[in-house]
Amino acid sequence: MRARRVTLSATLLLLAILGLAPIVVMFARSLSVDGAFSFENYRHLLATGRSWQLLSNSIGLALATTLISTLVGLPLGLLVAKTDLPLRRVFVLLFALPLVIPPYITAVSWVDMLSPHGLASNSFSEATSRKLSGLLFGFPGCVLVLASTFMPAVMLATMTFTRTINPRLEEAARLSARPLRVLRGIVVPLIRPGVLLAATLVFLLSLGEFGVPIFLRYQVFAVESFTQFTVSYNFAAATASAVPLALLTFVVLGVEWFVLHEKIQALQPTGQGGDTYVIPLRSNRVWLFALVSVLCALVVITPLFSLVMQAGSWQTYLRALRVVSDSLMRSVFLAAVGATALTALGFFVGYMIHTRAFSIWRAVDAGTVLLFALPGTVIGMGLIALWNHPETNLIYATPLIILLGYLAQYTALTGRVTVAGLTFIPASMEEAAASAGASWPRRIGAIVLPLVKNALVAGWLIAYIFCLRDTGITMLVYPPGYDTLPVRIFTLMANGAPSLIAAACVLMIAATVLPLIGVALLMRTQRR
């Protein structure tokens, strides 16, 4: 038991140093004006009309994104999971693509398409083209990009949670009800907690999103925090700007915990494998297929096509490779190392939460999720405040600072995936091994790890994607000569050739998607 306590205590300590300490340092700075304790930064924040405008913009953007993502993602998820829609597996893969692509790249692609000199400008009159461009740069454009990015999360959640429904229930209902009524009366109510959980995640991700609003010039608190630091060099005001987001996140997570947590726990796979009830679409097949195809063309194919067209010939890709190859390799390396560290840390955090090893397990869970939902720029500023000292240059002046940032922000992802994986392991297995005298490290190595292997691989992939696409933290803290590809794409945007930027974005997408395809192929081979 000693090894277990020491390991999990060390995990707690690491989390406190990595995640909590930067935020505490930032918060302490925001309460200081000219060295004296003061609420001046918060008084100023509350006194200006701009703050309320920013809050309204942030909430409005997050709500609109969540609403559209849910209204589209839920029916789409039901269509591909519960019906005989043609090519539904292909649709799932295609619709999931925007979720793994960094959202600001989707924004770049829409700008390439709809700007006054964009690819589609010849298809519209000049006035229409200007109007479309005007809409893109602002609230509608941000909603379009974020909803197309996060909608797949709701779709995938819907698909996942429909598998938790016992097909016998649906079959019984079908004896006296039409398929649509079964969906409305049985399926949707049963998966509602899962869909609401996905919607909450979309709301929080949209609330903390920084890359898209800053690129499409829409003022929200996440952007304000970044500009307060980078433009005005005001640590305290930057932190104060982040506090409303943190409070809002805290409230949303609190509501999620009290309203959804128990219900989500109750949603477990039926254990009946692929035995799910499928609704035949019959005469509706054609028009529903057409509708889904149009949606897919709009939110997936169009942005990708726009990037590929803007990049043009293969020579552009060669030029882009010459310009960004160092950054690309650094990104892949740092994301891979970050994902590995996150998988390890997430495993112990997840284990701690699942086994309720400490009385503060709820606080640990909420704390990691809160860090995940905070804008990356806030964590970046906290890291600078904490580690920017001559004594800690081993961290501050090396890529370790980026890795610490990843660990601070993304542990919730791997932690939660581990919890999900551990849920499927009966506690009796570990207990039996303990009764037989197996030590804790041996139980972990011989029983737990092999059984959660798939969950850990999934966690690694999710972490890899998030580390690879990170801009908020990396842009603020990357050491000299260590820029990553997302940062380089941002710096190239100042007067860089659009074709070069588009080609760099395509390379970024390839770096994100290729490992996913590789792992998927490997897992398929292993299954055979």
Partner 1 sequence: MRKLVIAVTAALIAAAALSLPGCFSKGRQSVVVYVSEDQVFSEPILKDFERETGITVKPVFDTEEAKSTGVMNRLLAEKNNPQADVYWANEPIRAEVLKQENVAAPYQSPSAEGILAEFKDPQGFWTGFSARARLLIVNQSVTDKPKSITAYGDPGFNGKTVIANPLFGTTTTEIAALFILWGDEKAKTFLTDMKGNNVKIATSNGESADFVAAGQFAFSLVDSDDAANRIKQGKPVEMIYPDQGDNEVGCFIVPNAVVLIKNGPHPEAAKKLIDYLLSAETERKLALSDAAQIPLHQGVETPAIVRKIETIKTMKTDYAAVARKMREIEPLLKQWVGL
Applying CB under 8 A, which residues contact partner 1?
50, 116, 126, 130, 214-215, 217, 226-227, 229-233, 235, 326-330, 332-333, 336-337, 384, 388-390, 393, 396-397, 399, 475, 478-483, 487-488, 490-497, 522, 526
Residue 379 Cβ vs partner 1, minimum distance, rounded to whole Å:
15
Cβ 190 to partner 1 shortest distance, Å: 37
Q: Could you give the CA distance from residue 47 to residue 211 in angstroms, rounded to a whole number?
A: 27
37 beta partners: 32
Calpha distance 119→132 (Å, rounded): 13
- Assess contact for 450 and 296: CB atoms under 8 A: no
Cβ 332 to partner 1, closest distance in Å? Answer: 6
Which residue in 208, 214, 207, 245 sits closest to 231, CA to CA?
Answer: 214
Residue closer to partner 1 (CB basis): 110 or 226: 226
CA distances in angstroms from 227 to 31, 46, 243, 331, 458, listed in the order given: 19, 18, 15, 24, 35
- Beta partners for 36? 33
Pick the closer one to partner 1 by CB: 175 or 231.
231
Nearer to partner 1, 104 or 372 (CB): 104
| Residue 113 vs 332, nearer CB to partner 1 | 332
Share of the chain residues as helix, strand and coil, in percent rounded to the nearest 5: 80, 0, 20
Whole-number Å distance between alpha carbons of 73 and 158: 8
Measure the CA–CA gap between 450 and 439, rounded to whole angstroms.
Answer: 16
Residue type, 365: D
Element at 37 (helix H, strand E): strand 36-37
User: Which residues are within 8 A (CB) of 328 and not within 5 positions of it... i.e. 6 or more apart?
Assistant: 321, 485, 507, 508, 511
Strands annotated E in 132-263: none
Task: Give the Å distances, CA to CA, from 106 to 144, 153, 154, 290.
Answer: 10, 16, 18, 24
Q: What is the C-alpha to C-alpha distance for residues 218 and 238, in angstroms, rounded to an integer? A: 17
Least spacing, CB of residue 330 vs partner 1, in Å: 4
By beta-carbon proximity to partner 1, the closer residue of 173 and 511 is: 511
Compute the least distance from the CB of residue 472 to partner 1, in Å. Answer: 11
Supply 252's token pair.
């949303």
Q: Shortest gap between Cβ of 246 and partner 1 (angstroms)?
A: 22
Taking the complex as a whole, the smallest distance from the CB of residue 149 to partner 1 amounts, in Å, to 19
Task: Please calculate the CA angle 274-280-286 and round it to the nearest 5 degrees.
Answer: 120
Is the CB of 126 or the CB of 280 nearer to partner 1?
126
Strand partners, 32: 37
Cβ neighbours, 10 Å, residue 364: 21
- Contact, 72 vs 147, CB < 8 A? yes
CB of 117 to partner 1, least distance (A): 8
Q: In terms of CB distance, is 272 or 393 closer to partner 1? A: 393
Q: Across the chain, which distance is largest between two alpha carbons, in Å?
A: 78
Question: Within 13 A of 243's CA, how many CA atoms are on the CB side?
Answer: 20
Question: In terms of CB distance, is 264 or 519 closer to partner 1?
Answer: 519
Q: Which is nearer to partner 1, 279 or 339 (CB)?
A: 339
Contact indicator for 388, 468 with CB cutoff of 8 Å: no
CB of 226 to partner 1, least distance (A): 7
Residue 196 CB, nearest approach to partner 1 (Å): 34
Question: In whole angstroms, how close is the CB of 120 to partner 1 at the nearest point?
Answer: 16
Which CB, 9 or 393, lies closer to partner 1?
A: 393
Q: Name the minimum Å distance from CB 514 to partner 1.
A: 12
- Could you write out the DSSP letters of every residue in 172-185? HHHTTS-HHHHIII
* Secondary structure of residue 36 in the 3-state scheme: strand
Please list, in sequence order, all residues whose beta carbon lies within 8 angstroms of the beta carbon of residue 421, skipping any fewer than 6 positions away.
350, 451, 452, 454, 455, 456, 459
* Cβ-based nearer residue to partner 1, 291 or 493: 493
Alpha-carbon span 518 to 393, nearest angstrom: 37
Q: What is the 3-state secondary structure (H, E, C) of 88-138?
A: HHHHHHHHHHHHHCCHHHHHHHHHHHHCCCCCCHHHCCHHHHHHHHHHHCC
- Residue nearer to partner 1 on the CB measure, 221 or 229: 229
Pick 396 or 406: Cβ nearer partner 1: 396
* Minimum distance from residue 406 beta carbon to partner 1 (Å): 15
Q: How far is the CB of 496 from partner 1 (least distance, A)?
A: 5
Nearer to partner 1, 440 or 460 (CB): 460
